[in-house]
Structures are given as C-alpha cells and as structure tokens.
Amino acid sequence: MTDWLTYNSLIVLQGVTLLGACSGVIGCFAVLRRRSLVGDALAHASLPGVCLAYLIIGEKHFFAMLIGAFLSGLLGIGFLAILRKFTRIKEDAGIAILLSVFFGAGIVLRSVIQQMPASGRAGLDSFIFGHSAGIVQSDVHWITGLSAGTLLIVLLCYKEFRLVAFDPEFAQVQGWPARLLDFALMLLLLGAVVIGLPAVGILLMAAMLIIPAAAARFWTQRFSFLLLLSAGAGMGSGIVGTILSAKFGVPTGACIILVCAAFFFISLLFAPGRGVVARILARQRNNLALQAQMKAGEEPPP
Amino acid sequence: MNAMHTVDSSAAPTIKHAVKVPILDVHDVTVAYHRKPVLWDIDLTLTQPCLLGIVGPNGAGKSTLIKAILGLVPLVSGSVQIFGQPVTSQRKRIGYVPQRESVDWEFPVSVLDVVLMGTYGSLGWFRRPGATEKAWARQCLDMVGLRDLEDRQIGQLSGGQQQRTFLARALAQQADVYFMDEPFAGVDAATERAIFSLLVNLREQGKTVLVVHHDLRTVPAYFDQVALLNVRLVGSGPTATVFNEGNLRQTYGGRLAVLETLSQAVEAQERTK
Ligand SMILES: Nc1ncnc2c1ncn2[C@@H]1O[C@H](COP(=O)(O)OP(=O)(O)OP(=O)(O)O)[C@@H](O)[C@H]1O
Ligand SMILES: [Mg+2]
C-alpha cells in the first residue's frame, strides 16, 4: 500500500521541497521584474547544454548535465543582451527567438543521442518532461546544496535585490551597482531554472516560477510575506505533486504544475481581500451599508 | 606639450581651492538616443545654493538632463561634476525624485518601505534598516503629511500621495543636492503648496534643489534660478533676468497654445517684481 513511500522517495521529496522553495522565491523576483517569459526561454535554452554534456561525458551524469544547462542558459542571457544592445528587436520577440532557436538546437542534439547505441538516454527525456523518481541520492545532494545556496544569497541581499527590482534607477543614483545586482538576479533565475529541470522539466519550468508567485500575490501586500508564501506554495506543490505522480505513475512535472494551479485557483477565488469571493461579498456589504445610510438621510462620510 | 599638460593639471586643484567649488558643473554635455541628439552641448554651473526650475516643452530633454547628471544615461561628450568631484563619488550627497511613471506601483511594498529605501545609501551592504531608520522615515512621512498611510500598499495611493511618497524617500536620503523630476505633476493646489514649502525649507537649510517644472505661471514665484531647455540650453540664471518673453518664445518655438500661457507667465513675473 505504501510502496511508493520508500527511502528513495523520501530523498526525492527532500529534493523537490527545496527546489520548490527556490523557484517560489526566485519566481517572485522574476514576476515582479517582468521576467516570467525570460524564465521560460532560459528553461528551453538549457536543452542543448544538457545534450552536449551527455555527448561529452558519454553517459548520464547529473551534475555535468546541470552545468551544461547552466552554461547554455548563460549563452542565452548573452544572446538576449546582444539583441537588446545592438538591434531594435523588441524584448518579447528576442525572447521568442532565443526560446525556439536554442530548443531547436537541443532537439537536433537529442536525436543525435537517440541514434547512438548507448543506453540511459531516458535521462534526457526526464529533463524535458520532468521525472523526479529518476533522481537518486547523489542528485539530491546537488539539488539541496544549490537550492540552499540560492536561498541564502537572497536572504543576505534581500534589501538590495528588492530595491533593484522596484526602482533600479534610484538604486543606481544611491550608488548601488544596480546592473550587477540585476545580473545577479538573472543568474539566480537561471540557477532556479536549472535546479528545477530534473524534477519539473524544461516544458513546464516557467509555470513553476510564475504560478506560486502569482498565487501568493493574492494573500499579501508585503514583499517578505510574498516570498514566504510563494516558497510555501512551491514546496507544497513539489511534495504533493511528487507523491501523486508516484502513486498514479504519471510524469512528475505535470503533477507538480497541476497542484500549483490548484493553489492558484484556490487563491484566486478564496483569498481574503483580493480573492473573487471576498471582493463580491465586500462590494455587496458596502453597497447595502451605503444604501441604508441613504435611506436614513445621512450625509456621505467625508 | 606633454609637460605643460602635467603642470596645468597639477596646478588646477590649488586654483580650485581659491575659487569656490561649484555645487554642480555641467560642462559641454551632449546626449543622444541612437543617433538623435536629445541634449546638445549643455553648460550649466551652480555656485550658490538655489531652487532651480528646469523648464521646457515635452521632449525637450529635461528628464534626460537630470539622468545625464546622475549618470543614468551615457554622455556622448562632456562631463559632470558635483562639488568638484565626479558624480560617482558624491552619491551620498544626492537625492532623487524620479518621474512617477518610472516604477510599478503594484509592487508589494508599503509606503514606509519605500521611504526607508532612502536610508539604504547610508546603511550600506547587507544591513537592514532598524529602529533609528524607521523613526527617521516616519519623520520624513510627517513632513509630507503621509504619516497615517505608512502601512498602505503604494498602489492604493492617489497620484499626489504617490508623488509625496517619492518626495519623502528623497528627504530620507539627507542629501545636499536634490534632483526632482516633475514633483508637482498631477497634484492638487493644496498639495502643490505643501510640496513647495518643503522645497523652500530645503533651500533655507542651504541645500540646492533642481526641479523639472511645467507650469510657467508659477515659475517666477517658485524658483530663484531657471534653466530654459529645448535640446539646447536657451538660457540659465536668475529668474528675474532669464525668464523673459524672448527666451520663452525661443524655448517653446512659435507654438500658439503656449503663447497665452507665456504672456500670463510674464505678467506674473512683472507682478512679483
Ligand atoms: N529611452 C529612450 N529611447 C529613445 N528615445 C528616448 C528615450 N527616452 C527619451 N527619449 C527621447 O528623448 C527626448 C527627450 O526626452 P525626455 O524624457 O528627456 O523629455 P522631457 O523634457 O523630460 O519631456 P516631458 O516633459 O514629456 O517629461 C524625447 O524626444 C524622447 O522621445
Ligand atoms: Mg520628463
């Protein structure tokens, strides 16, 4: 009955919990900085790196594939920067170009790998669709270390990152290296994407960044709570999604994202203050109170 | 040749000490976006603390001039010094009120959070604002009359209140020179008077305030110095001498819509004289 709750699945759960927290927190910055689509593009841009790492090492080596993903994402960031600096191509068009060109290159490399006799190419597809059950203990060490590192950096530079995300020009006038901090945020975004890939997959990684942040936004107006709630939503959907996926034998990434989406719709409907239900109720209550006042012939409040 | 240069530059500091160091020295500044020049060869020197109004039509480059001075846009040529030093070394003495549209007001921060950002410069890396900073930020909120709204998310403020939040953040910077981009935009008459008296306060404390301003009628009453800008600097100096019909015509071109305002402005000036 509880055969899915093995030692290895506990290990996996530890991994997805941390990576959920990580994408929840970094996702907030991405959404507020209007970089949700950049997250999607970076996820897709990582595929050629993953494939090249596989080709070079000759087998599925978890950390090498993460490094490959990171490097090719870095190339993607450079590509966007060059487009912005030297052409007048609009940001969204640039992102679309990056996403499709890099992903296309990745698909070509993947088919090269699939024509090779070597086994273990399933490891590649787990990066595309997300497959946390394939994650083993040594992988989780990497995920844990990298997530913890990312969260620590955010904790340390909380004030600086928030300032740059809100008003980069003011930050620069105040003497902060605003460009550098902004680039650091971009690197953390790439980091969160890369960490999440093995469990969530390239195709759905952007949702993992955006949806927890969007759901959390319904519950709070404070930045610190937003980060905490979003981290919580990311962790929650990581855990529940992984368990459901193991139980029903469906891809992990999809399960995690569906749980995320459930969190989002619950927030959309039922969050106090900003949720749909709360808004409708508040409007009715206010209208009734005002109508009663009008009937009583009172003056409007100042 | 080379030797002479060396002598020149080493002699310069002693001369500078003899003369008063200008608060702001904009020298031959040209700025272009892509190939289109937006500021052309601007020279502007302020030696005395003052309230300076920067006036000109839409697209004249007023915001760009402020950004160029603050190092936010690259210069094609020219140089800027504040208190005789490059701007990068004078950050702590500079206060900035950007145009209101420059940030996302849906951002999840409270009014107090935003004002506290003004203290980040003196806090330095990693340190979080503490009780002292909060008390000071509240004092700044008091000065702009927003103390009651300190916990509001900034998107739930009116335009005038948002403007005053930015002003309070700049006050929290405790700077010596302030750059304000349209602090009077979209505020009602009472708020405008309150903001203006704040500026006068700053001026009385010996600070210099540069203000981008659109309402020509109030220029003579508000500013002791003005800079008339339309890509080129048409004129700058004491309002009484520079703010005249000829210069205004040159700044605004022959545009009919403003001509009426112009004559009103000049009338207002006559009255203040
Ligand atoms: N980022 C930019 N890229 C390209 N052109 C720009 C950019 N920012 C400003 N410009 C152009 O530079 C010129 C000056 O702009 P600026 O914002 O400095 O004008 P302004 O005097 O502040 O106008 P306003 O009164 O409308 O605020 C305008 O013609 C504008 O179109
Ligand atoms: Mg402007």
Q: What is the ipTM of this complex?
A: 0.88
Listing from the earlier edge strand, what are the strands of the sheet with B208-212? Answer: B94-97, B177-181, B208-212, B51-55, B225-230, B232-238
pLDDT digits (tens, 9 = 90+) for A164-176: 999 999 999 999 9
Mean pLDDT value across residues A220-238: 96
Q: Kindly state the percentage of chain A with pLDDT values over 90.
A: 66
Choosing among A28, A167, A172, A223, which should be mutated to test the B contact, i.e. which has the most B CBs within 10 A? A167
pTM of this structure: 0.89
Is the model's pLDDT at A33 over the cut of 70? yes
Is the model's pLDDT at B117 over the cut of 60? yes
Is the model's pLDDT at B271 over the cut of 80? no
For residues B141 and B168, what is the distance between their CA atoms, to the nearest angstrom?
6
CATH superfamily, domain at A7-295:
ABC transporter involved in vitamin B12 uptake, BtuC (1.10.3470.10)
Contact B197, B173 (CB under 8 A): no
CB contact under 8 A, B120 and A174: yes
Protein residue with least CA distance to atom 12, ligand 1:
B38
CA A181 to chain centre: 19
Residues A285-302 as b or e (16 or more Cβ within 10 Å = b): eeeeeeeeeeeeeeeeee
Contact B198, B204 (CB under 8 A): no
Q: Is A168 on the interface with B (CB under 8 A)?
A: no
Which of A106-115, A116-125, A275-284, B89-98 bottoms out in mean pLDDT, i.e. has the lowest? Answer: A116-125
Protein residue with least CA distance to atom 6, ligand 1:
B33
Q: Any idea what DSSP says for residue B109? A: -
Instruction: Note the pLDDT of residue A299.
Output: 74
Mean pLDDT value across residues A188-198: 94
Q: Is A74 on the interface with B (CB under 8 A)?
A: no
Contact A124, A113 (CB under 8 A): yes
According to DSSP, the residues that pair with B44 across neighbouring strands are: B26
Instruction: Note the pLDDT of residue B260.
Output: 64
Q: How confident is the model at residue B13 (pLDDT cuts 50, 70, 90)?
A: very low
Instruction: Pick A300 or A252 by higher pLDDT.
Output: A252
Q: What is the chain B residue with the closest CA to A172?
A: B72
Which of A253-262, B2-11, B49-58 bottoms out in mean pLDDT, i.e. has the lowest? Answer: B2-11
Q: What is the chain A residue with the closest CA to B123?
A: A159
Is the model's pLDDT at A294 over the cut of 90? no
Choosing among A85, A174, A182, A223, which should be mutated to test the B contact, i.e. which has the most B CBs within 10 A? A174
Of B91, B103, B127, the CB nearest to A167: B103
Spacing, Cα A175 to ligand 1 middle (Å): 24
